Amino acid sequence: MSFREIQFVKSVVRPEELPVPGLPEVAFLGRSNVGKSSLINAFLGRKKLARVSSTPGFTRALNFFRVDHRFLVVDLPGYGFARVPPRVQQAWKYLVEGYLSAPRPLRLLVLIFDLRREPDALDQSLLEYVRALGRPHIAVLNKMDRLRKTEIPRARQRWEATLKLPPEKIFLTSCRTGEGVLSVKNKILEALEIKKELGGKR
């Protein structure tokens, strides 16, 4: 299925500015420069809805988009970029944790990681926090096109050990080639109880 109408709803910089809960929500979260905006654009079938920046740490607000008046996509600020001042990092942490801990109709949290990277302490702490909240979540290991095919299995195994998720909740993608994006889209639609899309690159 393709989405017909996508509207920007609101940009939030403090938890107290969050819109009143209503439609079901799916949120995207990843550290800076993992391709989060590209994945959102690929999921929605738009090229420039979520802004793609070459500057890590660009997104400093939490952005809401209404899709076909059926659900909301929530673009959470990227995290973990060292060159961002500590006070800004704390503000982002406060904002993201404020959203995730609020009583909102969050059907799925999409955690995005760079398949090429080694999981580190920041990734571990994020995963522990999400598990503690009990929010339903999946993991997307992006940028698989940047690795040789022979390198992908070992990289996946490395992340699986950190993620501690069943295989059906771990997805490998390339936003550049589109590989794996449809499988992620179908998982999101399943969580939103919307009919899946058939065909295309899985």
Residue 67 and residue 36: Cα distance in Å, rounded? 18
In a domain, 130, yes or no: yes
In a domain, 197, yes or no: no
CATH number, domain of 80, equals 3.40.50.300
Which residue has tokens 């992006």?
142
% of the chain at pLDDT higher than 90: 68
In a domain, 200, yes or no: no
In a domain, 10, yes or no: yes
Sheet holding 62-67, edge to edge: 6-12, 62-67, 71-75, 25-30, 106-114, 137-142, 170-172
In a domain, 201, yes or no: no
Domain that holds residue 39: 6-191
Interval 66-122: pLDDT, tens: 999 999 999 998 876 555 677 777 888 889 899 999 999 999 999 999 999 999 988
Q: Has this prediction a pTM greater than 0.85?
A: yes
The three-class DSSP label of residue 84 is coil
In a domain, 84, yes or no: yes
The three-class DSSP label of residue 63 is strand
Per the structure, the count of domains in the chain is 1
In a domain, 199, yes or no: no
Confidence of residue 186 (pLDDT cuts 50, 70, 90): very high
In a domain, 196, yes or no: no
